[in-house]
C-alpha cells in the first residue's frame, strides 16, 4: 500500500472521528460536549453516563457498523458484477431484507438478534440471486439497475401491503424501513460490530483473488483462480454485510452505491485504489463518514410528533440518488437493447385476428365493468350492497331507490377511474419502451410516478387530506417537474436512451426519499392515508375527478396512433429514423411528453399503480406482434382490464377492508415481470 493511500485512509479516519464527536453532542437532553469530556475524564455524573451509554453511543455505533458494512458490500458487488451501479439497493438486497423482516413481524415472531440477521440475510440473498440471474449477471448497468429497481418496487409494494393490512403488528416499521439508527440498547450494534468486522476481514483475505478476477475470467483462471467460487463467496459476503446492516438499522439507501463510486473517483490521487486491499477499507471508511454525517444532518431537521427524528436512510438516499444521476450522465448507449422475445417471435398477426382479439377484450372489459358494478362486499350474493343488472338499468333510467343510487354513484366513478388509468398507463408504457428501446422501461422507472407522488404528498402534508382536487393538481405538477428534470439532466448534445433510463431511476429514488421525509416529518398521523394513495386507491373518487383523465386518454390515443410508424422505427435504433427523415429529437420529445401526461393524469386520478405500464405492452406484443398499429389498442384494453379487475378484487377480497388497486397490480405484475426478465436475460 502506497504512502498516499495510507495518508488518504488516515485522513478519512480522522474525518470520521470528527463527525462522530459532533454526532455524540446531538440529542434531546442537555448533555453537551463539555459534559462528555468530563465523563471521559472520569468526572461525569450519572445522568451523563446514562445518556451516553443508553442512547448516544448505541446510535453512533450503529452508524459506524452500517456505514462500514454497506460500503464494503457495495464495493464487493461492483467488483464481482463489473458494474459501477451495483449496490444493495440496485440488486434488491435491501428490498428483500425489508420484506422478510416485515413478514416476520406480521407473523408475530420475535426472534433474537442472530436469527433476525438470518431472516434479513435470506431475504436479501433471495433478492440478489434473483436480480443477478434474471439480469444476466454483468450484462450492463441499465439492465441490472432496471431489473433490481423493478424487483425492489415489487417487493416494496408487497411490504406496503403488509404495512397497511397489519398496522398494529408493523408499527414503526415504515420509519425503520427507511433506515433508522435509533437503538433501544447497545446490544444490537455491539453484536453487529463484531459480526461485520469478522466478515470484512474475511473479505480482505479475498483481495488478491478479487484483483485477479477483475482482469477477466479467462486471465484469472489461467492464473489458478477458481472464478466461480470467488464470485460466489464475494456475493455471499456482500449480502451478509447488507443483511447485518439491515438488522441493525434497517435498509440504509444507496450508501453501498455512493461509497465505492466515490472511492474509485479518488483514483486521480490514490494510485492503487483499484486494488481491493485499498478499495475495500476505503469504501468502508467513506460509508462510515456518509452515514454519520447524514445522521448529523437529519437530527437537525424538524421532527414534530416523530420523536426520534427523520430516519437517516432518507438522507443517504438523497445523497445516493444525486450520485447515481451524476454517474448516469457519463454513460452512453453501447448498442441497442434487444426487444423482448415475445415481440421478436411474432412479426405480425393478421388484421382479422387483431380485430377479433380487440372484440374479445372489449367484451371482457364490459364483463369486468359489470362485475365491478354488481359485486357486493365480500362477494356475497345476499349482501345489502350486492346489485343486479336490473338495478343498474333502473339507475340509468333514474328510477333506482336511494340505496341503489348511492351504491352506484360510489362505484361507477371508481370503475371509470381504474379503467381509464389502466388504459393511460398501458399507452404510456408503449411509448416509453419504444423511445428508450428497453423492454424493461416503464413510466414508474423514469421518475415521473415518483414526481407525482412528491406533489401529492406535499399537498397532503400542508393542505390536508380532503383537498382531492388540489392533490390531483399537485400530482400533475410534480410529474411534469420530474420529467423536466430527467430530460434536462439526460440531455448531452442529444438524448441517449441509456442515460435517460438511469437518470430516471435516480430521480425516482430521489422522489421516494422526499416522500418518506415529508410523511415522517410533517404528516406522521396521515401516514396511512398517504400510503394508501401511494399504492393506487380509487376510494372516494367522483365523476369530476375522472373527467380530466378521460380527456387525456382520448387526446393521447390519436397522437400515439399518428406516430405509430415512428414508434416502430424508434424501437430499432437512432440511425434508422434519421435515414428515413424522421426528426428524431422532436418526435422523441412529443412521445415522451405524451407518456408523461398519461402517467400524471393516471396518478392524479387514482395514485401510483405499478407494473401496468410494463406488463400490458409486453402482453400485447406477445399476442399481435411488434407493430404499434396493433399493439396500442390491444395494450390499452389489456391495461384497462388489468386495473379494473385489480380495483374490484381489492375492494372485495378482504372486505370490509380494502386493498389499493396498485398493490393488486403489483401482486399480478411481479410474477410476469420475473418471467419477462427470464425470457430476455440473454
In the block, cell 445518556 appears at: 51
Question: Does the 3-328 domain belong in CATH 3.20.20.80?
Answer: no
Higher pLDDT among residues 493 and 408, named by residue: 408
Stretch 93-121: mean pLDDT: 77
DSSP string, 180-198: ----SSSHHHHHHHHHHHH
DSSP string, 340-377: PHHHHS-----HHHHHHHHHHHHHHHHHHHHHHHH--G
Q: What is the mean pLDDT of the chain?
A: 79
Model confidence band, residue 396 (pLDDT cutoffs 50, 70, 90): confident
Q: What is the pLDDT of residue 204?
A: 93
SS (H, E, C) 72-89: HHHHHHHHHHCCCCCCCC
Model confidence band, residue 170 (pLDDT cutoffs 50, 70, 90): low
Cis (ω within 30 of 0) for the bond into 656?
Answer: yes
pLDDT per position as a tens digit, 223-270: 888 888 888 898 889 888 988 888 888 888 788 888 888 888 887 677
Query: Is the per-residue pLDDT at 419 higher than 80?
Result: yes
Contacts 24+ apart (CB under 8 A), 21-29: 22/296, 23/56, 23/59, 23/60, 23/63, 23/292, 23/295, 23/296, 24/52, 24/56, 24/57, 24/60, 26/56, 26/296, 26/299, 27/51, 27/55, 27/56, 27/299, 28/307, 29/55
Of 548, 526, 549, 529, residue with least CA distance to 537: 529
Q: Which helix (H) or strand (E) holds 300?
A: none
- What is d(CA 594, CA 312) in angstroms, rounded to the nearest whole number? 37
Q: What is the pLDDT of residue 105?
A: 81
Model confidence band, residue 440 (pLDDT cutoffs 50, 70, 90): low
Phi and psi, residue 580, nearest 5°: -80, 5
- Percent over 90 (pLDDT), the chain: 15
Of 296, 260, 329, 243, residue with least CA distance to 83: 260
Highest mean pLDDT among 102-106, 138-142, 363-367: 363-367
pLDDT per position as a tens digit, 540-589: 777 877 888 899 999 999 999 998 888 888 877 767 777 777 777 788 88
Stretch 316-345: mean pLDDT: 62
Q: Is 495 helix (H, G, I), strand (E, B) or coil?
A: strand
In the block, cell 439480469 appears at: 135
Length of the chain: 682
Domain ranges of the chain: 3-328, 352-679
Query: Is the per-residue pLDDT at 462 higher than 90?
Result: no
Model confidence band, residue 307 (pLDDT cutoffs 50, 70, 90): very low
pLDDT per position as a tens digit, 382-391: 445 566 667 6
Q: What is the pLDDT of residue 449?
A: 83
Query: Is the per-residue pLDDT at 43 higher than 70?
Result: yes
Residue 304: half-sphere exposure toward Cβ, Cα within 13 Å: 10
SS (H, E, C) 154-167: HHHHHHHHHHHHCC
- What is d(CA 362, CA 354) in angstroms, rounded to the nearest whole number? 12
Least confident of 181-190, 353-362, 631-640: 181-190
Stretch 516-537: mean pLDDT: 69
The string over 242-258, giving b where at least 16 C-beta atoms fall within 10 Å of a residue's C-beta and e elsewhere, is bbbbbbbbbbbbbbbbb
Q: What is the pLDDT of residue 382?
A: 45
Read off the pTM: 0.76
3-328 and 352-679, same CATH topology:
yes
pLDDT per position as a tens digit, 56-69: 889 999 999 999 99
Query: Is the per-residue pLDDT at 148 higher than 60?
Result: yes
Which grid cell sits at 552?
387525456
- Percent over 70 (pLDDT), the chain: 82
Model confidence band, residue 272 (pLDDT cutoffs 50, 70, 90): confident
Q: What is the pLDDT of residue 379?
A: 47
CB-CB neighbours of 380 under 10 Å = 13
Higher pLDDT among residues 419 and 34, named by residue: 419
Highest mean pLDDT among 135-144, 423-432, 575-584: 423-432
End-to-end distance of the chain based on CA atoms, in angstroms? 40
CATH of domain 352-679: 1.10.3470.10
Contacts of 654 (CB under 8 A, 6+ apart): 165
Contacts of 444 (CB under 8 A, 6+ apart): 153, 450, 508, 599, 608, 610, 611, 613, 614
CB-CB neighbours of 480 under 10 Å = 18
Highest mean pLDDT among 400-414, 443-457, 625-639: 625-639
Q: What is the pLDDT of residue 388?
A: 66
Query: Is the per-residue pLDDT at 538 higher than 60?
Result: yes
Amino acid at each position: 500500500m502506497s504512502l498516499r493511500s495510507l495518508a488518504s485512509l488516515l485522513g478519512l479516519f480522522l474525518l470520521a472521528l470528527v463527525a462522530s464527536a459532533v454526532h455524540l453532542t446531538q440529542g434531546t437532553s442537555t448533555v453537551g460536549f463539555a459534559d462528555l469530556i468530563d465523563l471521559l475524564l472520569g468526572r461525569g455524573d450519572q445522568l451523563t453516563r446514562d445518556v451516553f451509554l443508553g442512547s448516544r453511543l448505541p446510535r453512533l455505533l450503529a452508524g459506524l457498523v452500517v456505514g462500514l458494512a454497506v460500503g464494503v458490500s457495495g464495493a464487493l458487488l461492483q467488483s464481482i458484477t463489473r458494474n459501477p451501479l451495483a449496490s444493495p439497493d440496485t440488486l434488491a438486497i435491501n428490498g428483500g431484507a425489508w420484506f422478510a423482516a416485515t413478514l416476520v413481524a406480521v407473523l408475530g415472531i420475535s426472534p433474537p438478534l442472530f436469527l433476525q440477521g438470518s431472516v434479513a440475510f435470506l431475504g436479501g440473498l433471495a433478492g440478489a440471486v434473483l436480480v443477478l440471474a434474471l439480469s444476466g449477471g454483468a450484462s450492463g448497468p441499465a439492465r441490472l439497475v432496471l431489473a433490481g429497481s423493478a424487483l425492489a418496487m415489487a417487493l416494496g409494494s408487497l411490504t406496503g401491503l403488509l404495512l397497511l393490512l397489519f398496522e398494529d403488528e408493523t408499527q414503526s416499521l415504515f420509519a425503520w424501513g427507511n433506515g433508522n439508527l435509533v437503538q433501544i440498547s447497545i446490544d444490537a450494534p455491539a453484536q453487529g460490530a463484531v459480526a461485520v468486522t469478522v466478515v470484512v476481514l474475511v473479505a480482505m483475505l479475498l483481495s488478491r483473488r478479487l484483483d485477479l478476477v477483475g482482469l477477466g475470467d479467462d486471465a484469472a483462471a489461467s492464473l489458478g483462480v477458481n472464478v466461480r467460487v470467488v464470485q460466489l463467496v464475494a456475493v455471499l459476503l456482500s449480502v451478509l454485510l447488507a443483511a447485518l446492516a439491515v438488522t441493525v438499522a434497517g435498509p440504509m439507501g444507496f450508501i453501498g452505491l455512493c461509497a465505492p463510486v466515490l472511492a474509485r473517483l479518488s483514483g486521480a490521487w490514490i494510485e492503487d485504489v483499484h486494488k481491493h486491499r485499498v478499495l475495500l477499507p476505503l469504501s468502508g471508511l467513506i460509508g462510515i463518514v456518509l452515514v454519520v454525517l447524514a445522521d448529523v444532518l437529519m437530527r437537525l431537521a424538524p421532527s414534530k410528533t416523530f420523536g426520534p427524528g427523520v430516519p437517516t436512510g432518507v438522507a443517504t438516499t438523497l445523497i445516493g440518488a444525486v450520485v447515481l444521476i451524476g454517474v448516469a450522465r457519463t454513460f452512453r448507449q453501447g448498442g441497442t437493447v434487444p426487444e423482448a422475445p415475445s415481440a421478436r417471435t411474432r412479426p405480425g398477426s393478421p388484421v382479422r385476428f387483431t380485430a377479433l382479439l380487440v372484440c374479445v377484450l372489449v367484451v371482457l372489459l364490459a364483463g369486468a365493468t359489470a362485475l365491478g358494478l354488481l359485486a357486493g362486499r365480500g362477494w356475497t350474493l345476499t349482501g345489502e350492497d350486492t346489485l343486479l343488472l336490473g338495478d343498474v338499468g333502473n339507475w340509468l333510467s333514474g328510477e333506482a331507490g336511494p340505496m341503489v343510487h348511492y351504491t352506484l354513484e360510489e362505484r361507477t366513478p371508481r370503475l371509470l377511474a381504474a379503467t381509464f388509468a389502466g388504459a393511460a398507463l398501458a399507452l404510456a408504457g408503449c411509448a416509453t419502451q419504444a423511445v428508450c428501446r428497453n423492454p424493461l422501461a416503464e413510466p414508474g422507472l423514469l421518475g415521473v410516478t415518483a414526481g407525482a407522488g412528491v406533489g401529492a404528498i406535499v399537498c397532503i402534508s400542508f393542505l390536508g387530506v380532503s383537498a382531492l382536487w388540489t392533490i390531483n393538481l399537485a400530482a400533475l405538477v410534480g410529474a411534469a417537474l420530474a420529467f423536466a428534470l430527467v430530460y434536462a439532466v439526460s440531455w448531452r448534445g442529444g438524448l441517449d436512451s441509456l442515460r435517460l433510463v438511469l437518470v430516471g431511476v435516480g430521480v425516482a429514488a430521489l422522489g421516494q426519499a422526499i416522500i418518506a421525509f415529508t410523511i415522517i416529518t410533517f404528516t406522521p398521523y396521515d401516514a396511512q392515508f398517504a400510503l394508501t394513495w401511494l399504492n393506487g386507491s380509487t376510494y372516494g373518487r367522483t365523476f369530476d375527478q375522472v373527467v380530466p383523465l378521460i380527456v387525456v386518454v382520448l387526446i393521447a390515443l390519436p397522437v400515439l396512433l399518428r406516430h405509430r410508424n415512428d414508434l416502430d422505427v424508434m424501437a430499432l435504433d437512432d440511425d434508422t429514423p434519421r435515414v428515413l427523415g424522421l426528426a428524431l429529437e422532436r418526435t422523441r420529445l412529443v412521445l415522451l411528453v405524451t407518456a408523461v401526461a398519461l402517467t400524471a393524469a393516471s396518478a392524479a386520478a387514482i395514485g401510483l399503480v405499478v407494473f401496468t405500464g410494463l406488463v400490458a405492452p409486453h402482453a400485447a406484443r406477445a399476442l399481435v406482434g411488434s407493430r404499434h398499429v396493433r399493439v396500442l389498442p390491444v395494450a390499452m384494453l389489456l391495461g384497462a382490464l388489468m386495473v379494473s379487475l385489480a380495483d374490484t378484487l381489492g375492494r372485495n377480497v378482504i372486505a370490509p377492508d380494502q386493498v389499493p388497486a396498485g398493490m393488486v397490480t403489483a401482486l399480478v405484475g411481479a410474477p410476469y415481470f420475473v418471467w419477462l426478465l427470464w425470457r430476455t436475460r440473454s
